[in-house]
A and B are shown apart, each in its own frame.
Chain A
Amino acid sequence: MTTDTAPAPLAEPVLEASGVVMRFGGLTAVNQVDLTVRQGEIVGLIGPNGAGKTTFFNCLTGLYVPTEGTVTYKGRVLPPKPHLVTEAGIARTFQNIRLFSNMTVLENVLVGRHTRTKEGLFSAILRGPGYRRAEQESRERAMELLEFCGLAAKSEHLARNLPYGEQRKLEIARALASEPGLLLLDEPTAGMNPQETRAAEELVFAIRDLGIAVLVIEHDMKFIFNLCDRTAVLVQGQKIVEGDRETVQNDERVVAAYLGEPLEGTTTATEADQ
């Protein structure tokens, strides 16, 4: 277990969401959520189905603009467009894999480098020495990332032909190619077998060791508690608790949200809140 190597808790914050509210018409999907992710941290976000985790994620990546509240990345308010958010330094993966399935593995990662390269139409047509150098560097960097994720041997395969677990890895490699300061993983182990989950854990630790903060949504509790320095629990759009493994596991509201309330109508923490 590498959790011991977690850095001191008061590193510089990378992501700060404060009072984020997301309403769709009359439905409040996310309600007054605050979340801070610090440099070199792995933070988990859990909650029952429909709790608003992915909606919150989409607020962080520019796919949605929050109705209220602000999200800042390294002190700057996030721009409202996904591609600008990526350029600022937040990369993400998707709950259902969204690779460019008819491109090769290497090309997928090269697309991830889009924001970190500047070559436009004319330099592509003229192919000067600058263009060649940049293209060469991009390829080398992409191959390094594939090496890092253990996909280097398959760089010329089509993404669609990879087995499921490797497609997940490729999605992570593609996200890393944009050189993010914060990586958002949306259910990275969905549909994986225990060995693959184990490999994914190792990969996330390795990413953290690169100095990249990670925010991960997950249903697999074992995975989350092995991995995360801190875990926030979202229930019905509200963050009910945030803390380390013991804090979350021993919180009655969390237990109530997942397992239901005890039969004897004793006052539970959730009710006391309201």
Chain B
Amino acid sequence: MTTTSHETTPVLRLPGTAALAATVAGGVLAAASAAMSWTWTDAFPGDLTYYGSPAGLQWLALAGGLLTVLLALASRALPGLRRLSPSGSNNGVLFAALGTLAVCWYSVIAITVQLDGLVNLDPGGWVSAVGSLLAVVGALGLPLDRRTAVQQPAVAWWWYLVAAVAAVLRYGLGEGWALNAVPTGVRPIVTENLWFFVALPAGIVGFKLWLLLNAWLRIGRIERPLPAARALPSWAEILVITAVFAVGLGVVEFGISTEYGELFIGFLLLVVFGTAALLSSGVIARLRELTVRHRAVTTGAAFAAAGAFPFTQSGETYVLIGANILIFATVALGLNVVVGLAGLLDLGYVAFLGVGAYAAALVSGSPYSVFRGVHVPFPVAALIGALAALVFGVVIGAPTLRLRGDYLAIVTLGFGEIFRIGMNNLDGKSGPSLTNGPNGIAAIPDVNLFGFDFGQPHDFGPVQLGKFGNYLLLMLVVTAIVVVVFGRVANSRIGRAWVAIREDETAAEAMGINGFRVKLIAFALGATLAGLAGAVQAHVSGAVSPDQYQFAGPVPPNSAFLLAAVILGGMGTISGPLVGAALLFLIPAKLQFLQSYQLLAFGIALILLMRFRPEGLIPNRRQQLEFHEADVPAQGGPVDDALTKAGA
């Protein structure tokens, strides 16, 4: 593979400081437009009709505009702002401007399309569109890090033919003559999926346009060593970390409590571009240095931010989403022990969550449990759930872990289904009476710990914490346990043995590692952690039934989504599965309007991610090297030296 060379040049040649001026002016305009009316009816969701009071998408425009202005000024090394752009690259400014453009234009177009006509736009809408465009034009005039040449994959001619045929067919289907050629039985399928005949040509043409744009922009990334940070006193560093997590809490809270799909899409656009901007500017690398230095503070701040979330909410809807995200994320972290560390592909992991949930439900005092009279305190129930999952894990693991790779995956897939079907049949008719069959165990009473009833709202000073707020805090404790266990075990004798087994089982055996034994430990530990989370899940949802624990389905957690969360987030890391799980839970929950196409969109997103970032969003440094072996020059200078060292 040839190494690409880079240059630092503007895309558009603008005179003097005009580029910077345009960027700043555009950013200010976009930010200012947030305080204006964008449309004059409240028919568009969020009611963007007020002057002086931003709402919904306008907040996003404000944030994007401000970020653009700040980064643009920081790139000129203005005192006080220098810390915002340690890498000195202007690409961050461009990404921020593009994010603003995406949000503003998306809003304007959505208003125009939904309300049918440009006439629905108020001056604010126009200002935001023009301002964000001006910012992008200005940013393109700044000296940017670019590749000198872009490899251009060709689009074969017959793709255009396919596009043309699809377009003609769409027209013909509308006119009727093409429909007549379709057999009657298939007709409803065709008429219900007319979008396909639009999406296909649009995709092909869009891809070509993207290639042309890419060839014109040639945006690249130059790895520059960051200049040494000016030393801050450690209290100031801790303050910075706290502030960052406070901002993070704000962002996540905004994302979780978006009330309509348009706002969530705008949020996603801004987050993606904003993250790219901060990565390019080097802020994220700088923050990572800080967090590595203050690991305990960082972990504490993260948990404090998560714990503060329910207190910022007035209703319970989004708190429940938060609690479910935590359950899903914790189980994904448990799966990361098995998949990420020990390298065992487990396709039936959700069964362990189910075992924990069922075990806890059976002893919860629910009137539908066969042990009706048994009602143990929650910590005991959680312990029973974890132990039941542990036993189940050992029983399944002992015979199957002698298999390797694909065989293990298939067997675990089978066991996952056996669990679900078994729970369905243990209803007293098809089998012994234990689980109530498909009805499951409902009416699980709320947790009551030392007189604190989790089902009732409680006042904490001025704020009230409702039922799901209580459970979120309880779940947070479980998450903390799992995080501590994962972090400690990963960096220990057993953790190293897991990685060694994953890397080369024969060599690991020759180094004295009992492969079967350590794999069984990984399997059992993963199962136990899932069982623990399951015990909480049973109480949060108030009922357990077999169909909650499927291999795949539109609602997480299920085995496929859990595995996807681990791989999407990054195998072998702690924060990876947590972030991956949060995204995988939020995206389907927020994109309800996609309806039956949710799984399709999900699949496409996964394919794209695996194509462009196979190591996951927050990769383990090792895995990143594994996947991008060819990109790293073999021998060399200071940059390579930094790359060859494994950061944790």
Contact = CB atoms under 8 A, between A and B. Distances in A.
Interface of A: 61, 63, 81-83, 86-87, 91-92, 94, 98-104, 107, 110-112, 114-115, 117, 119-121, 124-125, 127, 131, 135, 138, 156-158, 160-161, 174-175, 178
Nearest to B484: A125
B503 A86 contact: no
A112 B508 CA distance: 8
B68 to A, nearest CB: 38
Contacts of B644: 157-158, 161
A124 B496 contact: no
Interface string B480-515: 000011001100111111011001101111111111
Contacts of B208: none
B231 interface: no
B626 interface: yes
B242 interface: no
Given A86-B512, A111-B511, A125-B485, A100 B504 contact: yes
Contact of B503 (A102, A124, A157): A102
A111 B644 CA distance: 20
Given A102-B625, A103-B496, 18 more contacts: A63-B510, A82-B506, A82-B509, A87-B512, A94-B510, A98-B506, A98-B510, A99-B504, A100-B508, A103-B500, A103-B503, A107-B496, A111-B496, A114-B512, A124-B492, A125-B485, A156-B645, A157-B646
Contacts of A63: 506, 510
Enumerate the 9 nearest inter-chain pairs by beta-carbon distance, A residue then B residue, closest first: A115-B512, A124-B492, A86-B512, A98-B507, A100-B503, A102-B622, A82-B509, A161-B644, A111-B500
A114 B518 CA distance: 11
A160 B625 CA distance: 10
Contact of A111 (B513, B521, B525): B513
Which of A94, A99, A101, A158 has the largest count of B CB atoms less than 10 A from its CB?
A: A158
B497 A111 contact: yes
Interface in B418-460: none
Interface residues of B, number: 33
A119 B497 CA distance: 12
A111 B496 CA distance: 6
B511 A178 contact: yes
A92 B500 CA distance: 16
B298 interface: no
Interface string B221-232: 000000000000
A157 B510 contact: no
Contacts of A178: 511-512
Contacts of B514: 81, 83
Contacts of A125: 484-485, 488-489
A111 B518 CA distance: 13
25 contacts: A61-B510, A63-B510, A82-B510, A83-B511, A86-B511, A91-B511, A98-B510, A100-B507, A100-B508, A103-B496, A107-B499, A110-B493, A110-B496, A111-B497, A111-B513, A112-B511, A114-B513, A115-B512, A125-B485, A125-B488, A131-B492, A135-B492, A157-B644, A158-B622, A174-B511
A178 B497 CA distance: 14
Interface string B299-332: 0000000000000000000000000000000000
A98 B504 contact: yes
Contacts of B511: 83, 86, 91, 111-112, 114-115, 174-175, 178
B623 interface: yes
Contacts of A87: 512
A102 B504 CA distance: 10
A101 B503 contact: yes
A121 B494 contact: yes
Given A61-B510, A83-B514, A86-B511, A103 B499 contact: yes
A156 B647 CA distance: 9
A100 B499 contact: yes
Interface string B24-42: 0000000000000000000
A102 B343 CA distance: 13
A121 B521 contact: yes
A80 B646 CA distance: 36
A100 B512 contact: no
A119 B496 contact: no
A94, A102, A160 pick with most chain B CB within 10 angstroms: A102
Contacts of B512: 83, 86-87, 112, 114-115, 178
B500 to A, nearest CB: 5
A82 B505 CA distance: 11
A124 B510 CA distance: 23
Contact of B497 (A82, A91, A114): A114
B494 A83 contact: no
A121 B489 contact: yes
A111 B502 CA distance: 13
A132 to B, nearest CB: 11
A193 B488 CA distance: 42
Contacts of B497: 111, 114
A83 B503 contact: no
Contacts of B493: 110, 114, 117, 119-120, 124, 135, 138
A83 B496 contact: no
B645 to A, nearest CB: 6
